[in-house]
Amino acid sequence: MDMLTKLSFILIGGIIGFLSAIFKDYLLENKKEKIRQTILKKERLEELYILLDHWSSSFSIHGSNLLSVMNNDITYNQYLDLLSNKKNNFEFHRIKMLVNIYAKELDVYYQEVLDTSGKANKIQTKFKFEYENGNTVGQDFINTYKNELYEFLIKIEILQKKLALLINT
């Protein structure tokens, strides 16, 4: 073999080695990026789980306080004072964003939670209207409101269970 042939083989081998190193680095970076994305998604889903838990707790506390008004145990103004003393530990728009970006497959369950909380809020609005018009005893609202509160807690628990399965996959 002459010198030119040897040099050609060396040059071709060097080029192949160089290209394979670049390809290997590309594959490793892709794998690292996928791992980073998986970790980020898991962290965001865990954040969503915590936000849902805060929402559930807050909704329960506000609901039980409103039931106290309906039972005529406290006044509506006292209820409003209790609300103003509580600071919400969550943001509804963040929950919606996390569902839309990281848990789109759970949107159906999220919508059920929203629908149920909407029903409870409608009952609360009707009661407030009656209360402001002099009907301070909310016996007509208690059972339906309790049912909606209970339904909300069930729906949010279902959503959290589905979310936990998504986090662990």
Give the pLDDT confidence of 147-163 residue by residue, as tens digits.
Answer: 999 999 999 999 999 99
Is 19 a residue whose pLDDT tops 90?
no
- For the CA atoms of 113, 118, 121, 126, the dihedral, rounded to the nearest 10 degrees, stands at -150
In this prediction the pTM is 0.81
Contacts 24+ apart (CB under 8 A), 56-59: 56/152, 56/153, 56/156, 56/157, 58/86, 58/88, 58/89, 58/90, 59/117, 59/120, 59/149, 59/152, 59/153, 59/156
Is 87 a residue whose pLDDT tops 90?
no
By C-alpha distance, which of 112, 16, 81, 96 is closest to 51? 96
* Position with higher pLDDT, 89 vs 45: 45
pLDDT level of residue 118 (50, 70, 90 thresholds) = very high
